[in-house]
Amino acid sequence: MRKLKTPKMSKNTAQLLLILWYAMCWSWTLSTDSLSLSGSHTQGIVIAAAVSLVNVTLSTVIMWQGIRFARTLIATRKPIIAIPISVIILALSDFLVAWLTALIWIGPQGSFDNILPLGSPTLVLINTPFGFASRIVGFFGLAAFVWLIVILMTNKSTRRPALATTVILALISVIGWLAYRTPTGTSFTAIIISETLDERLSALDTSDSKLVIFPEYGLDSISNKNLPTRLFSKSDKSYFVGSQEQWQPNEASHRNTLLFGNTQQGITQIQNKHRLIPGGEDLPYSVKYIMQATKQNKLLSYFTFHKAVIKNPSQLQPSKIDSSTSIGAGVCSSITAPQDYRQFTKAGATVLSNSASLQVFGGTLVFNRQQKSLGKFMAVANARYFLQSANGDRAYALDINGRTIAEEYAQNSARVTVQNNTRKTPYTVIGEWMVWLGAVVSVSMILSSIFRRPVSTKGKLTKSQHTKK
């Protein structure tokens, strides 16, 4: 089998396209309500532009290294070797982009497993039939196929392998769809809610519903005494999940607490939020030191008292409703962490949800689509219904195949029929296996190149020279 020619797209053109792609993916940072955080819109724009610039630059540098490696491999190896190795290296590259753009913003309450996968092409492909491949190849594996196909399409001589790679992805997608297209469990009615922090819906009659998803902070100031101001049931017991901000005076900060319970017993389970948004709920060390150096004490105080969250050292766990239903409920920033919802599902969740507060994003189109695409990935890859309630943005419900079955804006609620599912996809069980395989291959290749490097003989005498001497 003959080797392939190097793709013709120039280095400068490829890098420019990468910059444009990541610039679009992070453009929403220039449109959020947080621009006025410091009290100066101009200063807010400067900070947002700096964040976007760092993210775009880092993403471009990392992804270009993966693309360059794949291009070299395609030009020097047979397709049967080049294509499989390239796809797992590209999966690793896409993961590193998501991981390192979160790692650089880590602060005192950060987690080293945080990721920000907002620049991944998976968020585009998950909205197509190819998205069903995620049930087998995972989030970053799906992105890797996109990157590889784009690379192969840049040269006429590699378009046949590009077509073959596309066919392989299509076959994986068909298998993923056929194997998990139908849920196996019982059905029930759930309520999703769209409201704002200042304008809540009136108390909901949940007599005909089994579960209510409240937005993030949708249960603020709610206790068992005043629970009926948010929901009540005239007949059967109804369950609810949502979050509440709890001020901690001893720590001069607050906790974001997930509450779970029902209309008969009240609040039965409390879990503090574990996954914090880098720069949103956890002030990065880098930003903190810059603010301290420039004496931005007012801004630091504002963040501490209004934004900072005390992290729970333990991950959130699914909440069991009955023998057939268990909900894996995340809070807001969990939507950026596919691994959290995979763990929910692996631990037995039959339905997934997210309680979000999205007013700060101001309804920006780019983030709006990214956010829902992440929800769609959770639904499709894990084959679970996904329910979101939100402050300041839309509430939506997705079935296990990612189809939108309900969507509400402003101050509205919707009753949806949800079906439990107990079957676990390969992604749920194994996780991002292509990333780990890419890491193993990368380390092996690096070590191999080190040990194969010829030892320099400069300045050393040969055996014959020693003899003559």
What is the pLDDT tens value at each position of the chain, 469 positions in all?
A: 455 555 566 778 889 999 999 999 999 888 776 655 555 567 667 778 888 999 999 999 999 999 999 999 999 988 899 999 999 999 999 999 999 999 988 888 888 889 999 999 999 999 999 999 999 999 999 999 999 999 999 888 888 999 999 999 999 999 999 999 999 999 999 999 999 988 999 999 999 999 999 999 999 999 999 999 999 998 889 999 999 988 766 665 678 899 999 999 999 999 998 888 776 677 788 777 777 777 767 666 666 656 678 888 888 999 999 999 999 999 988 899 999 999 999 999 999 999 998 887 767 889 999 999 999 999 999 999 999 999 988 999 999 999 999 999 889 999 999 999 999 999 999 999 999 999 999 999 888 888 876 655 555 555 455 454 4
Angstrom distance (rounded) from CA 159 to CA 167: 12
Q: Which two tokens stand for residue 268?
A: 């039965």
State CA 250 to chain mean position distance: 33
Q: CA–CA distance from 456 to each of 142, 206, 415, 461, 465 (Å)?
A: 43, 78, 74, 12, 17
Query: Are 256 and 243 spatial neighbours (Cβ–Cβ below 8 Å)?
Result: yes
Angstrom distance (rounded) from CA 439 to CA 99: 14
Q: CB within 8 A of 151, min separation 6: which ones?
A: 7, 67, 70, 71, 74, 86, 158
Residue of 358, 385, 381 lying closest to 370 (CA atoms): 358
| Residue whose pair of structure tokens reads 């900060």 in the numeric block | 253
| Residue whose pair of structure tokens reads 């297209």 in the numeric block | 181
Residue of 132, 142, 139 lying closest to 177 (CA atoms): 132
**Residue count of the chain:** 469
Backbone angles phi, psi at 47, to 5 degrees: -65, -45
Angstrom distance (rounded) from CA 288 to CA 295: 10
Q: How many C-alpha atoms does 332 have within 13 Å on its Cβ side?
A: 29
Q: CB within 8 A of 433, min separation 6: which ones?
A: 138, 141
Query: Are 105 and 286 spatial neighbours (Cβ–Cβ below 8 Å)?
Result: yes
- Which of helix, strand or coil describes residue 169? helix
Q: Which two tokens stand for residue 345?
A: 């599902």
The answer to whether the pTM exceeds 0.85 is yes
